[in-house]
Chains A and B, each alone.
Chain A
């Protein structure tokens, strides 16, 4: 469509070499580094050739947002500023993306909720903005602690929604996320979620790609909708309101438009599988007991499996990496041998268990829990206890020391 020459092998103003994304992620040397999740976000963005980052402080993403400000000061980002609120930030992100920029932002908890109106607008306008969501409590009384309830609200916005377990996931998926969401047949925003504090504020060894290599820039002329480029026709496509009339044609067009957004989510499946090596990761899928989880609940589930193995109980694991697109067929296949499916979650409603129940046959196999929320940790022992209780095995109360 556009006459863009490949920039692969050339350098940007910071001396970084634009690198073939697949080679960058799979062949470039990696350096182990001991970083917090927030620092990892900064390092990923350093390599992402972002044009614009818009920030607003809200715990626990504030540190990442501030660190990206340092990147701007160092010259790695085209523009960076603080919005007036999360709602303003997300609206400003839309403006930048409409103009053809690769856009990055971060938010959390009540910030996500405050900005919510923008997310279906982003997907409806086919804007491939990437938003990091460092999940925290959203309800009153106020909590800044880890809680994944806000993800449930994002699932029906038309955005791609991925849930990172570790800082390594975060580093890789920020870069890979742009590759998926900017595909012309996808071209949707990505909410890349993690469990706040557990990932953002703890240090881990993360294997980083070289800092002198970066993604090629975004090409807005591959967009499935016209870029608002006032220099080159076609222009003025956005002048009139889209379909604001009250008649059958307007309704049918809007319905078709909505279907196209979800069709694009479906199309992201192929690209997500390609870049993430599948929408789920599995272990021991022949086991009769399975743990299905996303985010850091996966780590806790993995440790629970080790504890159960010590007691002679064999258990499998499914790590759900993408919530949208939803890995329906993969989960159905991976749970076909399971008699008991446990879904540990860091939220009160159990939205992941509900999704799984709606996906698999014989959904009475699903045990929605254990649940913790409001910042509570999830010791692997409570997952073990939940499983043993369901199996009729003897277990001890973990609630306290007793009388």
Chain B
């Protein structure tokens, strides 16, 4: 097992891909936290805790859930909206949950508007601008999600969560796999259950 741990950065000028450091993806029914395989149960708790601790907990929905291109995508989008609403209900004054889409993957030139979108080629700009200290990617194609997660780890201190519909992401600090409507709803339930038990961070982290 690798000694490397996937932790909030800023890690390096060019951080390595976690897979190249020996971090392995979870098997079905598992998740990973900081690169260590964990029970999914524990991952729900930790993800909820990180969201509730964050000053600006943010969900980044990607193209796969932004369009109703099939029935499942539409249902997932509804579940994500529910998760966001739950988050808003459960945070304390001073915390600012956000929902910022990643509508496509093209580099945005000359300048992205970081208040309205995030882009996999320079996700750090949106993180920095909004002082986001915990985020979750959902509905982003895996390749693009990995680019984003690694760049965020390289240049920011943001805690990253991946709700992946496929095999998961080593480059996130916490990753679910085989994401479904049920899993998104379960995360929302966990956040609701932990409401009031987790204190938000007192200061903005240096992201």
Contacts and interface: CB of A to CB of B under 8 A. Distances in A.
Interface of A: 1-3, 126, 183-185, 187, 222-226, 232-234, 236-237, 239-240, 242-243, 245, 249-250, 252-253, 255-257, 259-260, 262-264, 266-267, 270
Nearest to B13: A252
B11 interface: no
Contacts, number: 108
Interface size class of B (residues with CB under 8 A): 35 or more
Given A253-B147, A253-B151, A224 B17 contact: no
A262 B17 contact: yes
B99 interface: no
Given A259-B150, A270-B24, A249 B18 contact: no
Interface stretch (B34-42, B79-87, B104-112, B195-203): B104-112
B146 interface: yes
B192 to A, nearest CB: 27
27 contacts: A1-B64, A1-B165, A1-B166, A2-B72, A3-B71, A3-B72, A126-B143, A185-B167, A226-B141, A233-B69, A234-B67, A237-B63, A242-B107, A252-B14, A253-B120, A253-B122, A253-B151, A256-B14, A256-B17, A256-B147, A259-B16, A259-B17, A260-B147, A263-B17, A263-B19, A263-B170, A267-B167
Contacts of B168: 185
Closest 7 CB pairs of A and B: A224-B142, A234-B63, A263-B19, A263-B17, A224-B143, A185-B167, A184-B166
B121 A249 contact: yes
Nearest to A251: B14
Given A262-B20, A263-B19, A237 B105 contact: yes
Nearest to A262: B20
A185 B14 CA distance: 22
B167 A266 contact: no
B163 to A, nearest CB: 12
A225 B69 contact: no
B33 interface: no
Given A234-B104, A253-B120, A259-B20, 15 more contacts: A1-B72, A3-B72, A184-B166, A232-B69, A233-B67, A237-B106, A243-B121, A250-B121, A252-B14, A252-B154, A256-B151, A259-B150, A262-B17, A263-B171, A266-B19
A60 B163 CA distance: 47
Interface in B92-119: 104-107, 109
B143 A225 contact: yes
Contacts of A233: 63, 67, 69
Residue in A226, A237, A253 with the greatest tally of chain B CB atoms within 10 Å: A253
Contacts of A264: 19
B146 to A, nearest CB: 5
A226 B146 contact: no
Interface in B1-39: 14, 16-20, 24-25
A245 B109 contact: yes
A233 B144 CA distance: 17
B151 A250 contact: no
Interface string B116-153: 00001110000000000000000001111011001100
Contacts of B20: 259, 262-263, 266
